């Protein structure tokens, strides 16, 4: 652990401004050391943060924070910003329960201007902030920092199109590191490559304006006309970039690891009377060789050994099992296609991308497009499978309704990270997909507990369903499986004594916790049966009939209550004149803050001990322990 001679004394951006230029390299070195040390212990986003150290230092030296505003796109690259804004002493709590968030949080610091966690939102938010400032007479600057990966999301272009009409004090910094999580694909990254290799652009523009300004009478009017013009004449003179066409003045490309060059560029951008796009080229993972060589692996990583760069623990998870199963199916079926939104590695599709390259589609960070693109494939007889994290599936709600379900098209949604994910906090918990999909007609949802159930569900989703089919599975691998429990069925399973009068209903990984709860209760002389759902929409009617035979029923669900399976199940019981007691334990109407998965489930009483406590408390309340 370093002594952090300079970094430990930084309490605000004012302290960064006071540093001599000769000390900046040492400060950046200390920042990188602190980032590597902390993330190795807590997990987190390492390579994105290592890549923006110099850029962040330059921003804090050039702008007057918090009067000036910085909005970080996604926010997973804001660790250096946190270290320079008074959070060094608490940085060891990064991503821990009650600690510093891994993303910007307005409630955490006055220097965090906007809560972020999902991609492509920064320009829209920053433009809104800039407009609000203008309306109140505030002349301070607003800066959006967005990666080239995030720029593949359509929202970024919608914002650029709208913000190009702004007058001044609005700067978009394009952090170009050639990656999002997976390697960037598509037309926009190729376009940036052409811009990077043409550094003459800004020189030509400056020299043209300089020459025109010296021409008596006509020079300045011509220069002003060219700046305003959308004509071919302007394109011929200035060789416009895409960003100029949106109304932005383009500056770049700039070396994102040269602080003096960055400060000069930022200072120049502040003086331009139009919105500015500053193109900064950085290296993801810079300063830590394992992250430089494998930036995707270190984009978001758990605990790791600093010397070797190897993860502390690794186990086979649902993502890998899904990827392998889909590859096996695709070997026999040439109609199967796999789609990812810049998450090939995270969703287990790397193997598919190699062995079935022609049927693998990385659409960039564009979940809305991914769903509608899948619908296009399906309309011509293909079998598209879109693998996506639960938290990012939310962004495609309209497309699932309008383009998929309403059109009766058969697409498969492989929903990764379903349920609590832990340390990334509110923005990444996968607890809304069930309620979201439950509200849409023509959708089938599977939620298996074990790998064999995943294989069965995926096969059914592809070959049995003829509408939108979703297979959801959690982060990590299989949990506890009782020795006397066999393979999962495709609809539901019953585990325990059917005549005991007490029934726990659940699905997904919570079944493992329910089995442990059953054992805890048995030690206290209380016997329960478990109804494990695998297909949670539509639910097999015989499952409702089975539940009506019990006196007391508990439903445990790792999702929000509104629109939940528990609510639907309860309605079905009432329709069958169920006379017993029915209890629901879900997340409720709230967001789940950052903490480990085990801590979150314990807090929510959705782990084994929590379930047992809920059952005991309810039995005591209704006087039915027998």
Distance CA 384, CA 459 (A): 13
pLDDT digits (tens, 9 = 90+) for 273-322: 889 999 999 999 999 999 999 998 898 888 999 999 988 876 679 999 99
pLDDT digits (tens, 9 = 90+) for 352-371: 999 999 999 999 999 999 99
pLDDT at 311: 87
In this prediction, residues 606-616 reach a mean pLDDT of: 98
Instruction: State yes or no: pLDDT of 46 exceeds 90.
Output: yes
pLDDT at 183: 55
In this prediction, residues 127-133 reach a mean pLDDT of: 96
Instruction: State yes or no: pLDDT of 96 exceeds 90.
Output: yes
pTM: 0.89
pLDDT at 285: 94
Q: Looking at the annotation, which residues are catalytic?
A: 284, 367, 395
- Cα 506 to Cα 299, 401, 428, 598: the distances in Å are 34, 27, 22, 18
Helix 451-463 crosses helix 318-332 at what angle (to 10 degrees)?
40
pLDDT at 247: 84
- Cα 467 to Cα 460, 461, 464, 524: the distances in Å are 11, 9, 9, 46
pLDDT at 165: 83
Is the CA virtual torsion 27, 29, 33, 36 positive or negative?
positive
| Nearest alpha-carbon partner for 377 in 412, 421, 344, 422 | 412
Asked if residue 41 lies in contact with residue 1, where contact means CB atoms within 8 angstroms, the answer is no
Distance CA 527, CA 466 (A): 40
- Cα 103 to Cα 69, 75, 89, 430, 518: the distances in Å are 16, 5, 17, 17, 38
Pairing assessment for the beta strands 276-281 and 336-340 based on DSSP bridges: unpaired
Instruction: State yes or no: pLDDT of 215 exceeds 60.
Output: yes
pLDDT digits (tens, 9 = 90+) for 227-249: 555 444 444 444 467 888 888 99
- Cα 345 to Cα 319, 352, 432: the distances in Å are 9, 10, 23
In this prediction, residues 601-625 reach a mean pLDDT of: 92
pLDDT at 626: 54
In this prediction, residues 461-487 reach a mean pLDDT of: 96
In this prediction, residues 482-497 reach a mean pLDDT of: 95
- Sheet harboring 170-176: ordered strands across? 69-72, 142-147, 170-176, 276-281, 249-255
Least confident of 171-180, 292-301, 474-483: 171-180
pLDDT at 197: 39
pLDDT digits (tens, 9 = 90+) for 556-605: 999 999 999 999 999 999 999 999 999 999 998 999 999 999 999 999 99
Those residues whose C-beta lies under 8 Å from the C-beta of residue 231, and which sit 6 or more positions away, are none
In this prediction, residues 431-448 reach a mean pLDDT of: 97
Percent of the chain with pLDDT over 70: 89
In this prediction, residues 512-532 reach a mean pLDDT of: 97
pLDDT at 222: 53
Distance CA 257, CA 54 (A): 5
pLDDT digits (tens, 9 = 90+) for 379-436: 999 999 999 999 999 999 999 999 999 999 999 999 999 999 999 999 999 999 999 9
pLDDT digits (tens, 9 = 90+) for 149-166: 899 899 999 999 999 888
Residue 246 tokens read as: 């949106």
How wide is the angle at C-alpha 450 spanned by C-alphas 447 and 454, nearest 5°? 55
In this prediction, residues 213-222 reach a mean pLDDT of: 59
- DSSP reduced 3-state for 276: strand
| C-beta neighbour count of 378 within 10 angstroms | 22
Give, for 167, the enclosing helix (H) or strand (E).
none
When the pLDDT of each residue in the chain is averaged and rounded to a whole number, the result is: 91
Torsion of CA 35, 38, 41, 45, to 10 degrees: -50
Q: Please name the residue ranges forming H helices in 149-186.
A: 154-163
pLDDT at 233: 45
DSSP string covering 482-505, please?
-TT-----SSEEEES-TTSSEEEE
């Amino acid at each position: 652990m370093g002594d952090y001679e300079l970094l430990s004394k930084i309490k605000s951006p004012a302290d960064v401004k006071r540093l001599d230029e000769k000390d900046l390299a040492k400060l950046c070195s200390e920042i990188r050391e602190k980032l590597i040390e902390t993330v190795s212990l807590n997990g987190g986003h390492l390579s994105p943060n290592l890549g923006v150290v110099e850029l962040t230092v330059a921003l804090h030296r050039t702008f007057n924070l918090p009067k000036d505003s910085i909005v970080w796109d996604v926010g997973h690259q804001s660790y250096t910003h946190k270290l320079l804004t008074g959070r060094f002493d608490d940085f060891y709590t990064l991503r821990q329960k009650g600690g510093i968030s891994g993303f910007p949080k307005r409630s955490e610091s006055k220097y965090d201007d906007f809560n972020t966690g999902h991609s492509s939102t920064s320009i829209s938010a920053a433009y809104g902030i800039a407009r609000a400032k203008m309306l109140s007479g505030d002349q301070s600057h607003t800066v959006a920092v967005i990666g080239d990966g995030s720029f593949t999301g359509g929202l970024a272009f919608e914002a650029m199109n709208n913000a190009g009409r702004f007058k001044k004090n609005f700067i978009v910094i394009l952090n170009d590191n050639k990656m999002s999580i997976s390697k960037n694909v598509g037309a926009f990254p190729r376009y940036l490559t052409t811009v990077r290799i043409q550094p003459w652009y800004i020189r030509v523009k400056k020299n043209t304006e300089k020459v025109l300004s010296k021409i008596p009478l006509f020079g300045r009017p011509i220069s002003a006309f060219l700046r305003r013009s959308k004509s071919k004449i302007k394109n011929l003179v200035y060789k416009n970039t895409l960003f100029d066409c949106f109304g932005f003045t383009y500056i770049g490309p700039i070396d994102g690891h040269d602080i003096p060059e960055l400060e000069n560029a930022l200072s120049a951008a502040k003086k331009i009377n139009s919105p500015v796009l500053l193109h900064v080229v950085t290296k993801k993972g810079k300063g830590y060789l394992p992250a430089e060589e494998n930036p995707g692996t270190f984009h978001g990583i758990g605990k790791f050994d600093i010397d070797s760069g190897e993860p502390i623990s690794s186990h086979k998870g649902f993502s890998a099992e899904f990827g392998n199963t889909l590859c096996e199916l695709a070997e026999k079926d040439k109609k199967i296609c796999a789609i990812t939104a810049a998450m090939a590695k995270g969703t287990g599709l790397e193997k598919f991308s190699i062995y079935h390259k022609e049927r693998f589609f990385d659409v960039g960070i564009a979940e809305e497009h991914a769903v509608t693109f899948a619908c296009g494939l399906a309309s011509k007889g293909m079998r598209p499978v879109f693998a996506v994290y639960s938290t990012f599936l939310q962004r495609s709600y309209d497309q699932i309704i309008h383009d998929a379900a309403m059109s009766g098209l058969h697409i498969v949604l492989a929903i990764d990270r379903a349920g609590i994910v832990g340390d990334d906090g509110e923005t990444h918990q996968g607890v809304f997909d069930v309620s979201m999909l439950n509200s849409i007609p023509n959708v089938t949802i599977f939620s298996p507990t074990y790998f064999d159930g995943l294989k069965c569900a995926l096969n059914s989703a592809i070959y049995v369903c003829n509408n939108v089919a979703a297979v959801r599975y959690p982060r990590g691998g299989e949990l506890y499986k009782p020795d006397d429990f066999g393979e999962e069925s495709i609809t539901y399973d019953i585990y325990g004594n059917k005549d005991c009068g007490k029934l726990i209903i659940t699905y997904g990984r919570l079944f493992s916790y329910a089995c442990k709860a059953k054992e805890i209760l048995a030690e206290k002389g209380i016997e329960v049966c478990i109804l494990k759902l695998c297909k949670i929409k539509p639910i097999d009617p015989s499952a409702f009939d089975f539940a009506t035979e019990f006196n007391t029923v508990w439903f445990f669900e790792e999702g929000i209550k509104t629109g939940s399976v528990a609510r639907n199940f309860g309605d079905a019981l009432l329709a069958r004149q169920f006379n017993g007691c029915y209890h629901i334990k879900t997340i409720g109407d709230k967001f789940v803050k950052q903490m480990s998965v085990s801590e979150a489930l314990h807090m929510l009483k959705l782990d084994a001990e929590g379930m047992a406590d809920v059952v005991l408390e309810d039995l005591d309340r209704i006087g039915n322990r027998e």
